[in-house]
A and B are shown apart, each in its own frame.
Chain A
Amino acid sequence: AQKVTQAQTEISVVEKEDVTLDCVYETRDTTYYLFWYKQPPSGELVFLIRRNSFDEQNEISGRYSWNFQKSTSSFNFTITASQVVDSAVYFCALSEALGNKLVFGAGTILRVKS
């Protein structure tokens, strides 16, 4: 069975600090996909990144970066120089190769204080 664990329930940082959100997954599939979604206080779910299991290259998008390590089954998300607008709930999710069924972690609440 697939499982996603986000062990950090809530993180508080001060603006401009760097913060890393952890995501550990379990799957028996050799082909799978990993996602990060952001849920701001307004409640909608915003797609951030998709990564397939054959692509272990780290990715950087502005202040956001992702570190995918198959050896430790982790897909961590780092925000550099955090801003108040980064305050949200962040979800890591996993889907199998066939079909688009997402298995979500419990989410990490990020609070960025000015």
Chain B
Amino acid sequence: NAGVTQTPKFQVLKTGQSMTLQCAQDMNHEYMSWYRQDPGMGLRLIHYSVGAGITDQGEVPNGYNVSRSTTEDFPLRLLSAAPSQTSVYFCASSLRTRNTEAFFGQGTRLTVV
């Protein structure tokens, strides 16, 4: 079982460039989410989805877009990268019911120069 797979693991972007962080899970989890981790701030929720075709904003959504066309995939798009988006990004998935634990991907370390 692969669990939650994120690609790429590392990425350097120039300011203004766009890119997509990929996230895929093979556990048939309804709930998927994206977090960013910054020093001293823990993880903060960017966007989440409770199922295919349904997405919503989290705490820090500005500058990011998401879509959920299938249960398995939940890509995160940076429209025009800014240095403030330098961070480590984690994708997570979980069963929707009963607040089971979230399974996290390995993370993507993004640097915007």
**Which A residues are closer than 8 A to B by beta carbons?**
4, 6, 9, 33, 35, 37, 43-45, 47, 50, 52, 91, 93, 95, 97, 99-107
**A107 lies within 8 A of B99 (CB):** no
For the complex of A and B, 10 pairs with smallest distance between CB atoms? A104-B42, A45-B104, A33-B99, A47-B101, A104-B43, A106-B42, A100-B31, A100-B94, A50-B101, A107-B42
**Cα(A47)–Cα(B90), bound, Å:** 14
**Given A99-B50, A100-B96; A106-B41 close (CB under 8 Å):** yes
**Cα(A103)–Cα(B48), bound, Å:** 13
Smallest CB separation, A51 vs chain B (Å): 10
**A43 lies within 8 A of B107 (CB):** yes
B44 in the interface, Cβ–Cβ < 8 Å?
A: yes
**Given A100-B33, A101-B33, A104-B42; A45-B90 close (CB under 8 Å):** yes
B102 in the interface, Cβ–Cβ < 8 Å?
A: yes
* Additional A-B contacts beyond A44-B106, A107-B42 (17; CB < 8 A): A35-B101, A35-B102, A43-B88, A44-B104, A45-B90, A50-B99, A91-B42, A97-B99, A99-B31, A100-B94, A101-B33, A102-B45, A102-B92, A102-B102, A104-B35, A104-B43, A105-B42
The prevalent SS among residues of B at the interface is strand
B103 in the interface, Cβ–Cβ < 8 Å?
A: yes
**Cα(A52)–Cα(B100), bound, Å:** 10
The residue from A43, A100, A104 contacting B99, defined by CB atoms under 8 A apart: A100
Smallest CB separation, A41 vs chain B (Å): 13
B61 in the interface, Cβ–Cβ < 8 Å?
A: no
**A95 lies within 8 A of B43 (CB):** no
**Cα(A35)–Cα(B42), bound, Å:** 14
**A44 lies within 8 A of B107 (CB):** yes
Of residues 52 to 110 in B, which have CB atoms within 8 Å of A's CB atoms? 58, 88, 90, 92, 94, 96, 99-104, 106-107
**Given A43-B88, A100-B94; A106-B101 close (CB under 8 Å):** no
The residue from B44, B50, B88 contacting A104, defined by CB atoms under 8 A apart: B44
Q: Determine the chain B residues whose CB is within 8 A of the CB of A44 once the complex forms.
A: 104, 106-107
